[in-house]
């Protein structure tokens, strides 16, 4: 037998033709009349057959293993070629067509993700890195980037090319995107890279502190959890998230990660949201959300108190806001606590209201760092929302006292906030669809006893019903929300879209995402009203006076 048949197998499965197709092989393979995989500097056939060979002869000046097979263009030119328009949200939930996204380089002029990366046995690095930077990077975290304002590209992507573990997990994520249409047994790249990633992470977590719980290590574990979640392997995903939780507790929770790299903390937060059944680290349970300076400027304008300008004139204070135009024409907000919402939940609702009113898209930020700070404030607020104790309320017992009403309305606000924010993120990776659909079901159960008491029709209840109706899940639940919304709007004497929109703006309103979907919901309410008006006057159940039913 030849040495070729007795040689040990490669540690990872190699695809039959993962290299760039060529018509020529090395001279040794031609002489032996075997198929050459054309690897540089040594093909697999020659590496097995010859013991001391250093380089295959391809009949040209072939590059070495550290060089590319083809001459590499500048990084900026490569990034421009692979970039294309990628929708950030499901098309059905867009207000208007998304502008084309052009991926640009990081702030560092020397950063080239196609050449400055750790060594790897993976033969398709350029293909997988191109996939990541052309599409996957736009879906890994739900946000609205622009070509010049992209926190993930600015603060996360450079770490990929510096850390071996995170680099290979990134390749695995891209390979799954490329091969997800194939049967699991034929996903050769995924199989190979999964084995590599598991070995690398196992070695990394056995390293001494702090490398075993570094930002890059946490991001790599979260990346594996995302991939398994997308595959539908919820058990494996839960194992990764549980391990991630333990590592975060060693670091001091997500709040500690926000200090070192806020963008990584935001990505980790999204992974916990998608997992849905793994609690956040216990050390984050009592964390207080720090409000940025712009919040108080926006709050002052929201209270509609004019300010005295330096020139002696009167100004609304909008010039102090990052996005003054988005704060115009907003009616005064309702008092959440006066409507029965618990104080800690009222603070979170106010945070979301001010954020939605001040920032619409990335264009409202001046720098990528400011945009990162806005996203971090959003994720911190939502993490606080998900870690607060759920108000105790049994829908089957109804509303019998003031305390039970406050618990019910607070629980309803919690479920509605989850829908209002996270429904826009569905379709991104990691996907929070499970959390959103569960929140819609819980919102319906919580609102039922409130609806039974018609005298509690308020604009807050109107907003809760409208948010539940815009949830993209459950046609049966959707019909229920439409019907109840129509009745509540009638009770509040709301008959036009302008009145409806003004009422919703008094609670929480994000013009970019809410205007279209709530308008479509209102159109359904109007259609239902018109249909009921045709038959309502004909519905008469008359009972003869004096008629008494007696049993035989």
pLDDT of 246 reads 93
pLDDT of 304 reads 55
Residue 485, exposed/middle/buried by CB under 10 A (0-12, 13-18, 19+)? buried
What does the CA dihedral 204, 206, 211, 216 come to, rounded to 10 degrees?
Answer: 30
Give, in order, the Cα–Cα distances in Å from 325 to each of 316, 329, 364, 511. 12, 9, 10, 11
What does the CA dihedral 422, 427, 431, 433 come to, rounded to 10 degrees?
Answer: 60
3-state secondary structure of 333: coil
Cα separation, 109 vs 283, in Å, equals 39
| 13 and 191 Cβ atoms separated by less than 8 Å | yes
Query: What does the block give as tokens for 147?
Result: 């070509």
pLDDT of 79 reads 37
Q: What is the DSSP letter of 384?
A: H
pLDDT of 2 reads 44
What are the boundaries of each domain within the chain? 1-71, 75-284
Residue 448, C-beta contacts closer than 8 angstroms, at least 6 positions apart: 395
Could you tell me the maximum CA-CA distance found in the chain, to the nearest angstrom? Answer: 111
| Other Cβ atoms within 10 Å of 96 Cβ, number | 8
Is residue 134 left, alpha or beta, with left meaning phi > 0 and alpha meaning psi from -120 to 50? alpha
Q: What angle do CA 488, 491, 496 make, to 5 degrees?
A: 80
3-state secondary structure of 272: helix
Q: What is the DSSP letter of 314?
A: E
What architecture is domain 1-71? Answer: Irregular (4.10)
What does the CA dihedral 494, 496, 499, 503 come to, rounded to 10 degrees?
Answer: 60
Q: What angle do CA 342, 343, 346 make, to 5 degrees?
A: 85
Element (H, E) at 483: helix 475-491
Nearest alpha carbon to residue 219 among 162, 166, 174, 170: 166
pTM across the whole model: 0.72
pLDDT digits (tens, 9 = 90+) for 165-197: 999 999 999 898 888 888 888 888 899 999 999
Please provide residue 315's backbone torsions phi and psi, each rounded to the nearest 5 degrees. -130, 155
Query: What does the block give as tokens for 382?
Result: 């939502």
Nearest alpha carbon to residue 449 among 502, 389, 409, 494: 409
Average pLDDT for runs of 10 along the chain of length 552: 46 47 73 80 80 78 42 41 34 38 45 70 83 72 68 86 92 88 86 93 92 94 90 87 92 92 91 80 82 89 51 38 52 89 95 90 84 92 91 62 80 95 82 89 91 76 95 88 93 93 94 90 91 61 59 52
Cα separation, 361 vs 382, in Å, equals 18
pLDDT of 109 reads 52
Is residue 14 left, alpha or beta, with left meaning phi > 0 and alpha meaning psi from -120 to 50? beta
């Amino acid at each position: 037998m030849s040495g070729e048949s007795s040689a040990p197998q490669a540690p990872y499965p190699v695809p039959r033709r993962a290299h760039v197709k060529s018509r020529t092989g090395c001279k040794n393979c031609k002489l032996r009349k075997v198929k050459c995989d054309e690897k540089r500097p040594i093909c697999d056939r020659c590496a097995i057959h010859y013991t001391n060979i250093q380089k295959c002869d391809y009949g040209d000046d072939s590059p070495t293993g550290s060089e590319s097979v083809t001459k590499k263009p500048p990084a900026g030119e490569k990034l421009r070629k692979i970039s294309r328009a990628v929708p950030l949200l499901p098309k059905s939930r867009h207000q208007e067509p998304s502008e084309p996204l052009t991926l640009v380089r990081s702030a560092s002029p020397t950063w080239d993700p196609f050449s400055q990366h750790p060594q790897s046995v993976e033969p398709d690095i350029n293909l997988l890195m191109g996939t990541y930077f052309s599409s996957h990077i736009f879906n890994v975290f739900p946000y609205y980037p622009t070509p010049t304002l992209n926190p993930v590209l600015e603060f996360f992507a450079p770490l990929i090319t510096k850390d071996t573990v995170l680099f290979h997990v990134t390749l695995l994520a891209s390979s799954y995107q490329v091969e997800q249409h194939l049967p699991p047994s034929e996903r050769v790249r995924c199989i190979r890279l999964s084995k590599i990633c598991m070995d690398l992470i196992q070695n990394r977590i056995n390293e001494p502190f702090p490398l075993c719980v570094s930002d890059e290590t946490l991001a790599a574990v979260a990346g594996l959890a995302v991939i398994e979640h997308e595959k539908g392997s919820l058990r494996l995903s839960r194992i990764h998230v549980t391990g991630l939780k333990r590592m975060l507790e060693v670091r001091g929770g997500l709040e500690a990660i926000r200090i070192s790299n806020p963008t990584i903390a935001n990505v980790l937060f999204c992974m916990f949201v998608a997992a849905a059944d793994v609690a956040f680290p216990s050390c984050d349970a009592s964390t207080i959300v720090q409000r940025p300076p712009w919040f108080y400027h926006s709050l002052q304008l929201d209270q509609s108190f004019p300010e005295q300008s330096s020139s002696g004139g009167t100004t609304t204070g909008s010039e102090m806001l990052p996005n003054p135009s988005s704060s115009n024409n907003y009616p005064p907000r309702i008092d959440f606590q006066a409507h029965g919402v618990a104080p800690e939940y009222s603070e979170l609702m106010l945070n979301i209201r001010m954020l939605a009113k001040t920032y619409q898209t990335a264009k409202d930020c001046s720098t990528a760092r400011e945009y990162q700070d806005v996203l971090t404030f959003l994720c911190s607020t939502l993490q606080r929302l998900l870690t607060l104790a759920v108000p105790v309320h049994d829908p089957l017992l109804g509303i019998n006292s003031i305390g039970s009403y406050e618990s019910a309305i607070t629980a309803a606000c919690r479920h509605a906030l989850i829908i209002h924010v996270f429904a826009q993120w569905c379709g991104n990776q990691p996907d929070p669809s499970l959390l959103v659909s569960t929140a819609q079901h819980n919102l319906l159960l919580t609102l039922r006893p409130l609806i039974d008491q018609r005298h509690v029709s308020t604009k807050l209840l109107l907003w809760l019903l409208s948010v539940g109706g815009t949830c993209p899940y459950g046609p049966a639940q959707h019909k229920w929300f439409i019907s109840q919304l129509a009745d509540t709007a009638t009770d509040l004497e709301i008959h036009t879209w302008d009145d409806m929109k003004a009422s919703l703006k008094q609670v929480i309103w994000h013009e970019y995402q809410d205007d279209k979907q709530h308008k479509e919901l209102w159109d359904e309410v109007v259609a239902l009203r018109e249909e009921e008006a045709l038959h309502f006057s004909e519905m008469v159940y008359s009972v003869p006076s004096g008629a008494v039913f007696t049993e035989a």
